[in-house]
């Protein structure tokens, strides 16, 4: 599979409360040009949502986010997740993600964490929480000594700030939620989600 970092400029970070929303939401994101979809394991509906998207929206590349345990890794992959994203990592969690057979982005926010992952042969990571942890200035500083590390910054990124991240040589994509306004989801306004997704997809152009 193509690297998760290269599928689209933006990975929507989705919190699904109702599994019935999963398929129409995924279809709207894909239609807008965002095929990589991170469904966070923060709600009881998350695994059912991943299962539904994997089964019914084959053009989507559905992944699981907020993966924080080996059990979470196993459950997400069993549900059909094609990639995994964690907010941080431990040796136990990293072992489980490496065994999973699917691509993964372990979360980092310090230089030492990046170096530790590079030691383990991992060179693609999530930078989280991006804005709070130093934003573009921090990532630009990492590019000098650690040019082999590539990132998906997530956390506090908006349509306005995303281009400055995407311009960095060590950023493949960003994670965001701005194309998923709560009122649009509540109203099941999938046309609005698709339009916002299209605006995010155009950031690469």
Q: What residues are annotated to the active site?
A: 38, 126
Which residue's structure tokens are 């689209």? 8
**Among 151, 143, 148, 163, which residue's Cα sits nearest to residue 109?**
151
Residue 84 φ then ψ, to 5°: -130, 145
Separation between Cα atoms, residue 110 and residue 142, nearest integer Å: 10
Distances (CA, A) of 177 to 16, 63, 69, 132, 183: 12, 15, 23, 16, 13
**Among 156, 106, 113, 163, which residue's Cα sits nearest to residue 135?**
156
DSSP summary character for residue 103: -
Cβ contact 151:32 at 8 Å:
no
Residue 175 φ then ψ, to 5°: -100, 140
- Neighbouring residues of 15: CB distance < 8 A, sequence distance ≥ 6: 40, 42, 43, 177
């Amino acid at each position: 599979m193509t690297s998760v970092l290269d599928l689209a400029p933006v990975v929507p970070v989705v919190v699904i409360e109702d599994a019935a929303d999963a398929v129409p939401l995924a279809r709207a994101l894909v239609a807008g040009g965002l095929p990589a979809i991170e469904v966070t394991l923060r709600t009881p509906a998350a695994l059912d949502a991943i299962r539904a998207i994997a089964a019914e929206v084959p053009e989507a590349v559905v992944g699981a986010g907020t993966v924080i345990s080996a059990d979470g890794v196993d459950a997400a992959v069993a549900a059909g997740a094609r990639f995994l994203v964690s907010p941080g990592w431990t040796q136990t969690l990293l072992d489980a993600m490496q065994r999973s057979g699917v691509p993964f982005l372990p979360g980092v926010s310090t230089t030492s964490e990046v170096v530790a992952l590079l030691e383990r042969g991992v060179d693609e990571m999530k930078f989280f929480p991006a804005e709070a942890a130093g934003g573009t200035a921090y990532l630009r500083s990492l590019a000098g000594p650690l040019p082999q590390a590539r990132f998906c910054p997530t956390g506090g990124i908006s349509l306005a700030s995303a281009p400055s991240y995407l311009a960095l040589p060590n950023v493949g994509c960003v994670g965001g939620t701005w194309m998923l306004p709560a009122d649009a989801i509540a109203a099941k306004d999938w046309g609005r989600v698709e339009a916002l997704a299209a605006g995010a997809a155009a950031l690469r152009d």
